[in-house]
Amino acid sequence: MRFLLDTNILLHLLRKSDLYKETDRRLALSNPENIIIISTVSKGELMALGKRNNWGEAKLVGLSSLMNRLIIVDIVAENEVMFEAYSAMDCYSQNTVTGDPLPKGYTARKMGKNDLWIAATAYLTDATLVTTDGDFENLAIKHIRVEHILS
């Protein structure tokens, strides 16, 4: 199975938190048969977080080591499928697609642009997006699979 880890899950992985350990047990993320993917956006978010919070050398080395072990999918200009997915999910989440409204009980949501790139990466790689937040709920209706981990 393919899993795309959201930035918040990557933080738990870096911290070796109990939440990540439980997530790993439940989804078997460390099973070598599973493929773990991240978006290049998450790498950038983590690097920025490290700079803002003045992470020490050990934590930065840990981040670098983690990045070397994961499959990182870049956003490249030639990848029209990713750009189509991004635009389709942005419009769907904001409930602006003519003839394809959100189901009853869901409301339009303006998503953060980084989250949209992460979702487009999950779509492109046919991976289940693993996250601790509810930012991707509207997209889970139609576009991507989401595994919501309660923190």
Instruction: Encode pLDDT of 33-50 as tens digits.
Output: 999 999 999 999 999 999
pLDDT at 125 over 90: yes
Taking the alpha carbons of 48, 54, 55, 60 in that order, is the dihedral positive or negative?
positive
Name the helix (H) or strand (E) containing 33.
none
* pLDDT > 90 fraction of the chain, expressed in percent and rounded: 98
Class of domain 2-148: alpha beta
| Per-residue pLDDT, 37 | 97
7 CB-near residues (< 8 Å, 6+ apart): 41, 42, 45, 46, 114, 118
| Per-residue pLDDT, 151 | 79
Name the helix (H) or strand (E) containing 110.
none
> Distance between CA atoms of 131 and 109, rounded to whole angstroms?
17
Domain boundaries along the sequence of the chain: 2-148
Entry pTM:
0.94
Closest to 143 measured CA to CA, from 79, 97, 77, 78? 97
pLDDT at 115 over 90: yes
State how far the alpha carbon of 92 is from the alpha carbons of 47, 48, 111, 123, in Å: 30, 29, 11, 14
